[in-house]
Amino acid sequence: MIRRIAILGSTGSIGKKALRVIEVLNSSLVARGSSLEKEKTEYEIVALSAHSNVELLAEQARRYKPKFVAITNTDYTGSLRELVGDLDVEILAGPDGLTEIAQLDEVDIVLTAVVGAAGLPAVLAAAQKGKTLAIANKEPLVIADELLTATAKENDSTILPVDSEHSAIFQAMQSGSADEVSKIILTASGGPFRESSVEDIQNVTRQQALSHPVWDMGPKITVDSATMMNKALEVIEAHWLFDMPVEKIEVLIHPESIVHSLVEFVDGSVIAQLGAPDMCLPIQYALTYPARVVGIAKHLQLDELGKLTFERPNLETFRVLSLGFEVARTGGTAAVVFNAANEAAVQEFLAGRIKFVNIVELIEHCLNKHNVKRRVSLEELLEADAWARREVIECLKQKVL
């Protein structure tokens, strides 16, 4: 059997790991020579995409021989053409290129690993085509929640979470039925400022915010982990992905990042998924699902770990987490504004134009000013997204903060 894969965002942290996972799965397939059907599955890389890192995309095209490559930033189309001119690969350019590869008949699984809301049209297009969606790129799920889950349902598109917490919940949920779940507990490492007070985080630098104690990730999600916006987005993601009332979702800090999340059932049993803090494992599970096969992930040595600890998050330092719960309860366009304001603010922070604490202030400002709309179309979602991004820039121009 062959599973044909498109990776949206193959040059990023998740994309590079996914390619490595596939390489190992295919090479151990040869080594195993197993007679088990699940172990005979081959993984074919059909399409890859990048935004501007043409050198790496070209290198990947040479190594993995996809039929299609997409470059979303058209400034780089010419250089990509030069770099892969001798290869038998079709080049698709611009944001539409991403949507095109997400819909290809030659593709069974679309692994979405681009960063931010930019992945939304492609994710929706893949769902419309009934593809299996392995979703790492949480922002489209957060902002198009109802629209995306309904589109996937209508078109028999399976959504498999790649985010380690949601992969853990997805796995733990298989121990009972949805109506037997009493709550889900998302774990969070707590990031670099886990023990900091509100005063401590006033003047943190870009470098401090980008120094995650456990996970090695792209810059946007690393800043999101430092503010705990990442966990706020994950609360909304879990609410939609598992059709779970917000009241049944809890967040616990677990600095060791070994327990990736837990599900509590009505009888009091708590089922958790544990593993090394490495995204290769949830990526692999989404690609091999429902099978489990030997792969790249390191196995845990529980005796070496000693103890695992859990604590409640400090909601004063991580104010954005409370906002995330509120946004999940509000629904409608609140989530798209929450996400877009954050994306714009994080960009400003990474460019050195605002302070770390301004990120949550800008998000709160946009949420307060926005009139929430419900049951919205894609156009209305994109309108709300654009409004929030403009509002952040306007605030900075007017020196509102």
Ligand X SMILES: NC(=O)c1ccc[n+]([C@@H]2O[C@H](COP(=O)([O-])OP(=O)(O)OC[C@H]3O[C@@H](n4cnc5c(N)ncnc54)[C@H](OP(=O)(O)O)[C@@H]3O)[C@@H](O)[C@H]2O)c1
| Positions in the binding site for ligand X (CB under 6 A) | 9, 11-15, 50-53, 72, 98, 113-115, 118, 136-139, 163, 215, 217-218, 220-221, 279
Q: Are 364 and 351 in contact (CB under 8 A)?
A: no
In angstroms, what is the minimal distance from the CB of 135 to ligand X? Answer: 9
- In this complex, which beta carbon is closest to ligand X, that of residue 264 or of residue 345? 345
CB nearer to ligand X: pick between 132 and 257: 257
* Half-sphere exposure of residue 34: CA atoms within 13 angstroms, side-chain side: 15
Which token pair is 150?
């309904």
**Least distance from ligand X to the Cβ atom of residue 257, Å:** 11
- We find the least distance from the C-beta atom of residue 76 to ligand X, in angstroms, to be 8
Residue nearest to ligand X as judged by C-beta position? 12
Give the shortest CB-394-to-ligand X separation in angstroms.
22
- Which CB, 142 or 201, lies closer to ligand X? 142
Specify the amino acid at residue 300.
Answer: L
Q: Residues 321, 363: contact at Cβ < 8 Å?
A: no
CB of 50 to ligand X, least distance (A): 4
DSSP 207-238: HHHT--SS----HHHHHHHHHTHHHHHHHHHH
Smallest gap from Cβ 90 to ligand X, in A, equals: 18
Judged by CB, which is closer to ligand X: 233, or 264? Answer: 233
If you ran DSSP here, which 8-state letter would residue 8 be given?
Answer: E
Strand ranges of the sheet holding 2-8, from the earlier edge strand across to the other edge? 90-93, 68-71, 42-50, 2-8, 109-112, 132-135, 159-161
Give me the residue label for tokens 């600095």.
255
390, 395, 399, 401: CA torsion to nearest 10 = -150
Q: Which is nearer to ligand X, 14 or 173 (CB)?
A: 14
What is the smallest separation between the CB atom of 267 and ligand X, expressed in angstroms?
31
Nearer to ligand X, 79 or 182 (CB): 79
Comparing CB distances to ligand X, the nearer of 113 and 244 is 113
The residues pairing with 187 across neighbouring beta strands, listed in sequence order, are 252
Give CA–CA dist 150/361, Å, rounded: 33
Residue 43, CA distances (Å) to 33, 64, 136, 162, 328 in order: 15, 11, 18, 17, 36
- In angstroms, give the least distance from the CB of 310 to ligand X: 20
Check residue 246 and report its DSSP letter: G
Nearer to ligand X, 161 or 313 (CB): 161
